[in-house]
Chain A
Amino acid sequence: MSFSRRSFLQTGAALMAGLPLARAIPVTAAPLDTLVIATGQTINSLDLHRTGTNRPSYQIAINCYDRLITFGSKELEDGSLSFDYTKIEPELAESWTTSEDGLTITFKLKPNAVFWDGRKVTAADVKWSFDRAVSVGGFPTTQMQAGGLTRPDQFEAVDEETFVVKLDQASKLSLPDLAVPVPFIINSEVAKANVTEDDPWAMEYLHTNPAGSGAYKVARWDNGQQIVFERFDGWVGGPLPEIPRVIQREVPSPATRRALVERGDVHISFDIPDKDAAELADKLTVYSTPIANTIHVVGINYEFEPFQDSNVRKAIAYAIPYEEIFQTAAYGRGAPLWGGEAEISDTVWPRKSPYFTDIEKAQELMAASAYPEGFSVPMSISTDLSSWMEPTALLIQEALGKIGITTEIEKIPGANWRTASLVEKRLPLHLENFGGWLDTPDYYFFWAYMEGNLFNSSNYANAEVQALTEETLPMAQDDPQYLPKISRMFEIAFEDLPRIPLYQPALNVAVNGAEGYEFWFHRQLDIRSLKGTGEA
C-alpha cells in the first residue's frame, strides 16, 4: 500500500488516535469524507456582489448560496456531464408561473427551505437579495440588466413563500438570468444586523462572512491559501452532497498541481493548462469541455483603413492556419470553429465559420483588393493570455507574410489589455475572446457585434445586425421568426468578418479518485455533485 495523504485522510481516525498532540482537523473514517482540490486561482471575496470580486470567487455563490432556480444537467458525447441551458429546474423555488403576457413571473418558495442558522427562507430575503444585486452597481447590476431586471420596484414579496418579478418587456433571457450566479439569496436578517450608515448592503460583513442557505458552509477561508467547505445538512435546494468536507488549496504553479494530482494527493486539479490535459489524459480522467458561448477570435478593427476592404478581411480568413493553431495553441482541446458549411440552416452556437486555410485563394483575394502589394500592421496580444495568444499570433504572422501583410507582434501588459482592446478599441489586428453566460447566439452578438458594446473590439457597426440582435434578444427560441433572423445575423457576420472565429477553448479538469464532475458555464467548480470513487 502506498502511503499518501489520501490514505491518511481516509483512515484518519485510527492514525489520529496515535497522535494525541496533533492539533489537527478531526477526521473520521468513512469511504471519503474529505475531498481535496488544487486550483491555481485565488478567491478574493466571499461576496460576488462586491466591487473587485474576481471570477474564482463566484464558486462561493454557487456552492454556498442558492438561487431560485438552476439549470439541469445533460450528458455530453464523451460521457461527461454538463449544465443544460434548455432545462430550468427548481433550487429554492418550488414552482413558478409566467403570466400570459410574459411580464410577471411568480415564484413559490420551498416551504422547508432554511438558512444555515435555521431560519426559514422567505420571499423577503429574496427581495432584499435582488434589490442588492440591482443596486450595488458594477458587474452584478450589469448582469441583472441582461435579464431585464434593473430596479428594486420590479420585485415584490407577496407573502412568506410567494415572490413576484415584474418585467418591463417579456424576454427569453429573464428566467435563465435568474439561474446565473449573481441573483443568490442572502439571509437578509443576518445581513441587516451588520449594515452601517455607509454600508447599507452589508458589503463589509458578507465579504468575509457568507450567510446563505446553500449546500456548503465556509468553515475556513485563508485568503490566498485555501478554503474549506463543510456540508450543510439542512440543504433542500437539491440532493444532499455526498462529501461532508471539501478542502480547496491554491497552488499557483501548474507543474506542482500536476505532480499533486498525479501522485494522488489531491482528487481534483481544476482548470489545468491544455498541454497538461493532453498529457495527463493517458493516465487520469481528464475532462475537457468546450466552454459554452466562448470563442477565441482574430479581431479585425474597422477603424484601420485596409480592413475596411472586404477582400482584405476575407484574404486574412483564408490565410489563417486554423488546424495548426488548434493543435499548437490548444493541444487539440476544445472545438474547431472553421470549415463549416456555407448554408445556415440551424441556430447552433458557437458555429463553425465557412472559412478554411487556402493560401492561394487568400493571395487571389489580396490581389483583387485595394492593397495588392500588401501593407504592415501591428498584431496585439495580451501578456496575461500568452499561453494561447503567443503561439497563435506567431502562426498567423507567418501565414500573413505569405500574402504580403507584414505584422509585428505587440505584447500588451495584462493590466492594460482590457483598456486598450475593449474600452478604447484601438488595436487594429488583435486576438480576443468573449464568453457569455447566457448561452444563445443573440446574447453573444449583443456583446460582440453591437456598436459601442464592450466586446466589440473591432468597432463593427451594421444597422441590420443591430436591429436583428435587438429583435432576437428577447425572442423565444421556438419562435418561428427566430431561425431566419439568426441565420441572417450569421450570414452578415461571416460576410463582414469583424471577428474571425478560431476555436472554442476548453475547460480542463483532471480527476483522480473522484467522480460526478459537471461542467458549468461560469467555469467554476460545482462541488455539490462530487463523489469519491474510493480509489486513487
Chain B
Amino acid sequence: MSGRAAAILNRVAQAVPVVIGVVVISFLLTRALPGDPAVQFAGVAATPESIEQVRVALGLDKSLPEQFVIYVGQLIQGDLGQSVSTGRPVSVELASRLPASLELTLTALIVSCLIAIPLGVLAATKPGSWIDQLCRILVTAGVSLPTFFTGIVLIYVFYYLLGIAPSPLGRLDFIYLEPPRVTGFFLIDAAIIGDWQTWFGALKQLILPAATLALFTLAPIARMTRAAMLSALSADFVRTARAAGLGRQKVLFGYAFRNALLPVVTTLGMVFSFVLGANVLVEKVFAWPGIGSYAVEALVVSDYAAVQGFVLAMAMLFVLLNLIIDLTYTAIDPRFGTSAK
C-alpha cells in the first residue's frame, strides 16, 4: 500500500515541471502570435497616438522579461490577469465557462461509453455477426462525420423539420433562470435545490449537442473495446478459464473484460482530451457558452491574458486527468506501483 502511495505522490510531483513549462511556453507563444493587441483594441479609427495610449494602458510597452515577471507575480497570487476583450478577470471567465464545457463533454462521454462499451463487447464475442456489422457502421460514421456537420444535421432534423428539439440557444431557454451556482453544472445545481423544471430544461438543451459529441467519441471507444476484448478472449488465461469449466459470464466479465479495460481507459483519456478540442465547433453551432469558443475568440483578438489563462487551465485539467487515469489503473490492475518504484 505504501508503495502505491509513493507512486501516486511521485506522479503528482511529476506534474510540477509540466505546469512550470506550460507557464513559460504559454507566455512566449502568446507573444509570438501574429497581430498587435494594441492595434486590435485601439479600435477602428485609431491614430498612432491612440494605439500608443492603449499599448501603455495594457502594459505592453514594457520589455518581455518585465512583462513575464509581472505575469508570474500575479499568477502566484492566483490572479490570471484581466481579459481585455471581455473586461473581466480571466479566472472569473474560466470559472463561468469551464463547467459548461465539462458538463457537455462529460455527458457526451457517459452516453457514448454506455453505448460503445457494450457494443464493443458484443461485437467481439460474435465477430462477423450483424451486431459486429452495426458496430462497424457506427464506428465509420462516427469518425467520418465532422462534429459541426452532425450538429447542423441534428438541428435541421429535430429542431427545424420535426420541431421536437428545443431551440439551439445554449444551456437554458430564456424562460428559465440559471440555478444558483454551486458546481456550475446546471443538472447538478438544479437538482440540489430540487428545481426539476429547470433540470429538465437544462437536460433538453443538452440532448442534441451531447448526442453530436457522443457520436463522435463513440468510434474510438467502441473500436478499442472490440479490439481489446478480442485479444483478451484469445488469450491463454481465457482459454484456461474456459477449460477449467468456468461459467460464460464469469469468463467474459471476470477475466476477459477486466483485462480489456486498461486500454479502454487509456483511450477514454485520449478521447476526453480531443473532445474538449472538438467542442469548439459544437459550442458554436449550439450557441453553448463554453470555454472553446471563448479561447478561439481570445486568440483572434490577441487577448494575451485570456489565452494564457486558457492554456494554463487546460494544462492543469490534463495533468489532473492523467493522474485520475493512472489512479484508475491501480484500481483495475493491483500490480501498479509495486514493481515500478
Contact = CB atoms under 8 A, between A and B. Distances in A.
A263 B196 contact: no
B120 to A, nearest CB: 33
B294 A224 contact: yes
A168 interface: no
A296 B102 CA distance: 42
Contacts of A256: 152, 155, 168, 285-287
B194 to A, nearest CB: 9
Nearest to A50: B87
Contacts of A208: 87
B197 A22 contact: yes
A169 interface: no
A223 B88 contact: yes
A147 to B, nearest CB: 13
Contact of A259 (B40, B159, B173, B294): B159
A260 B167 contact: yes
Interface string B18-42: 0000000000000001111001111
Interface residues of A, number: 64
A265 B170 CA distance: 14
A2 B196 CA distance: 26
Contacts of B176: 22-24
A287 B130 CA distance: 54
B237 interface: no
B125 interface: no
Interface stretch (B50-58, B258-266, B321-329): B50-58
A50 B57 CA distance: 11
A447 B44 CA distance: 11
A137 B53 CA distance: 7
A263 B43 contact: no
B195 interface: yes
The 5 closest A-B pairs by CB, nearest first: A415-B35, A139-B43, A416-B34, A137-B53, A52-B84
- Chain B contact patch, size range: 35 or more
A453 to B, nearest CB: 8
A504 interface: no
Given A50-B87, A253-B287, 4 more contacts: A142-B46, A222-B289, A252-B284, A253-B148
Given A44-B85, A224-B289, A259-B156, A415 B175 contact: no
A262 B160 CA distance: 8
Interface in A1-48: 2, 5, 8-9, 12, 19, 21-25, 27, 36, 38, 42, 44-45
Nearest to A223: B86
Interface of A: 2, 5, 8-9, 12, 19, 21-25, 27, 36, 38, 42, 44-45, 50-55, 137-139, 141-143, 146, 207-208, 222-226, 228, 247, 249-253, 255-256, 259-260, 262-263, 265, 384, 412-419, 422-423, 447, 454
B313 interface: no
A226 B148 CA distance: 22
B293 interface: yes
B85 A384 contact: no
Interface in B148-191: 148, 152, 155-156, 159-160, 163, 167-170, 173-177, 179
A138 B50 contact: yes
Contacts of B39: 418-419, 422-423
A265 to B, nearest CB: 5
16 contacts: A21-B196, A23-B177, A24-B176, A137-B50, A137-B54, A139-B43, A139-B50, A142-B46, A223-B86, A228-B174, A251-B168, A252-B284, A255-B285, A259-B155, A414-B300, A447-B45
A430 to B, nearest CB: 16
Contact of A252 (B163, B174, B195, B287): B287
A252 B169 CA distance: 10
Contacts of B42: 51, 138-139
B44 A263 contact: no
Nearest to B97: A224
Contacts of B96: 223
Contacts of B285: 252-253, 255-256
Interface in B286-309: 286-287, 289, 293-294, 297, 299-302
Contacts of B44: 55, 139
Contact of B46 (A8, A139, A225): A139
Contact of B50 (A5, A54, A142, A263): A142
B56 to A, nearest CB: 9
A5 B167 contact: yes
B16 to A, nearest CB: 32
